[in-house]
Amino acid sequence: MPLPSGVTQRDFSQALAQFASVVGKEWVFSSDEDVDLYRDAYSPFWHEEEERIPSAAVAPDRVEQVQQIVRIAGKYKIPLWTISTGKNLGYGGSAPNQTGSVVLDLKRMNRILEVNEKNHSALVEPGVSYFDLYRHIQEKGLKLWIDPPDPGWGSLIGNALERGGGYTPMRDHFDAHCGMEVVLANGDVVRTGMGALPNARTWQQYKYGFGPYVDGIFSQSNLGIVTKMGFWLYPEPEAYFSGTVMVPKHDDIHALVEGLAYLLNSGIVQGTTSVLNTIDFGPPDPELARVRVGSSTTDLERYVAQKGLGYWTVDLPFYGPSKVIAAQWEHAKEKLSTIPGVQFRDGASYRFPMSPAELAKIPNPVPLGVPSLTTFAIGGPFSQGHMWFSPIIPMTGDAVVEATKVFEQVYKDLGSPAGALPGLPIWSFFARAFVIIYFFPVEHDVEKNRRNRDIFRRLVKVAAEHGWGEYRTHTAFMDDIAFAYSYGNRALWRLHETLKDALDPNGILAPGKNGVWPKRLRKANV
């Protein structure tokens, strides 16, 4: 396996021996066979030298060991790439951004430290997955919901730090956190918010504490290692209901999104929705396959009218007491009924708690706060992996139409990504803006991956030209996307670098994470 950049074999061996003295020999992995397990299972660099490969991995069991490890790493200038459950698949998995980094694997730190049913909150370690916390809540019979993202085996902490999203009213995972414990590069342990108060009684109840609020600098960052994090949970609701809205014309997107933004921003709809066009996301139909090719908008509108479908469809999710949900749905219909030809359909309706047998009948229970791995079926039965292009665009019909047109032009110029799914699914994982989550397949095929990477990079560039930026990305594209956030002669990037130099002068924490490199590894040309 490769050595960390600029580190001698002698120093590397000494560092590993010292790591072993901290965590025990069995938790330092340096054989090729063991280190291979940390490679990115969905690497867009399969069979290419550019694949980022770790040199070793070390797996502490508690925060004191993390402190000792960063001090050893600082002494030998060993880069540490931290993972929580290592399931950031599609964004780099458990592999580092820089070849030769040692993976700091926090999976063994998997304690659920507190679940508070009265305050609807929890305190967990990085190795706790959504499945773990869900099972714990079920076993204890607590009236609480978690908010899982699509893949349930990820870490609550890891996903929140990556600013991931889910489906229930707690869907913005970083926003739903309350209090952190962070190990800094010098080994200090910092508790944020009310956790800075010795004997704090409200660490998971009040976010801000006193003085500057620093939690944000530890998300998508390499400024510290988060070892505990509090989360607000959702009180188990009485019911869930999904109402479908379909509008008949292409240009109805403007009124539809305006109405949707009103419903979301006023809290009437509190869960994640997506805006889908029937042409790309409608029910399978051979006729549609024929109509889709070369048809005008009028032809497509005629097709959906004949089928009784909408040109655009939105499912509105509602959570809460049944009577409130019924009133919210009525209000939503009233608001959207100004769109000529709009159709409303009642969808799924559930009351809670549901039995395991009832839940097992639901193909994708994630919007009901139940973790699942269903999403991994997305690329078909023989898929080898994927990554995501995910720009944030305004929550307006204009932006939906413009983004669709702009990105389709890239595909016309360069061709569609090999094996890609059609259409741009547009989601409301976060307040006030849409995020497009575009599926890019990853294959064990060098040429296809190279081509897809070229298309991806062009999309990033074109998006930036239109004022759209990605919310998160695979390690392969972190520099590209950081480069796009260049306002004021890269003022934000330079601020990130200033923080990096101050907090991690040896540059040992996750070099290159989200485009932020330590001084000694900084590229002169960016």
Binding site residues, other proteins, CB under 8 A: 16, 25-31, 33-34, 36-39, 41-42, 57, 59, 61-62, 85-87, 89, 93-94, 105, 107-108, 110-115, 127-129, 131-132, 135-136, 152-153, 360-365, 371-374, 376-377, 379, 381-385
Separation between Cα atoms, residue 189 and residue 23, nearest integer Å? 18
Q: Which of 76, 130, 134, 471 is catalytic?
A: 471
Minimum gap (Å) between residue 382 Cβ and other proteins:
6
Separation between Cα atoms, residue 101 and residue 52, nearest integer Å? 9
Nearer to other proteins, 29 or 434 (CB): 29
Residue type, 515: G
Minimum gap (Å) between residue 108 Cβ and other proteins:
6
* DSSP 3-state of 149: coil
Instruction: For 424-449, give one letter per residue: b (16+ CB within 10 A) or e.
Output: bbbbbbbeebbbbbbbbbbbebeebb
Minimum gap (Å) between residue 260 Cβ and other proteins:
27
Task: Name residues whose C-beta falls within 8 Å of residue 126's C-beta, 6 or more positions apart in sequence.
Answer: 84, 85, 106, 107, 109, 155, 157, 158, 226, 227, 229
Nearer to other proteins, 129 or 428 (CB): 129
* DSSP 3-state of 29: strand
Half-sphere exposure of 466 (CA within 13 A, CB side): 21
Both tokens of residue 88? 């950031």
Nearer to other proteins, 223 or 370 (CB): 370
432 catalytic? Reply is: no
Minimum gap (Å) between residue 386 Cβ and other proteins:
8
Instruction: For 52-88, give one letter per residue: b (16+ CB within 10 A) or e.
Output: bbbbbbbbbbebebbbbbbbbbbebbbbbbbbbbbbb
Minimum gap (Å) between residue 270 Cβ and other proteins:
24
130 catalytic? Reply is: no
Do 70 and 143 touch, CB atoms closer than 8 A? no
Q: Strands 102-105 and 56-58, how do they pair?
A: parallel
Task: Name residues whose C-beta falls within 8 Å of residue 268's C-beta, 6 or more positions apart in sequence.
Answer: 262, 328, 331, 332
Minimum gap (Å) between residue 55 Cβ and other proteins:
12
Specify the DSSP element, H or E, that contains 496: helix 487-503
Minimum gap (Å) between residue 448 Cβ and other proteins:
16
Q: Which of 38, 42, 91, 319 is catalytic?
A: 91
Nearer to other proteins, 153 or 344 (CB): 153
Quickly count: other Cβ atoms within 10 Å of residue 423's Cβ: 18
Nearer to other proteins, 4 or 152 (CB): 152
472 catalytic? Reply is: yes
Nearer to other proteins, 138 or 498 (CB): 138
Both tokens of residue 108? 């063994």
Nearer to other proteins, 382 or 487 (CB): 382
Do 463 and 469 touch, CB atoms closer than 8 A? yes
Q: Which of 79, 87, 77, 88 is nearest to 57 (CA)?
A: 79
Minimum gap (Å) between residue 169 Cβ and other proteins:
23
Specify the DSSP element, H or E, that contains 350: strand 343-351
CA angle (199, 200, 202) in 5-degree steps: 155
Nearer to other proteins, 89 or 482 (CB): 89
Minimum gap (Å) between residue 435 Cβ and other proteins:
23
Nearer to other proteins, 13 or 338 (CB): 13
* DSSP 3-state of 120: coil
Give burial (CB, 10 Å; 0-12/13-18/19+) of 357: exposed
- Which residue numbers are catalytic? 91, 471-472
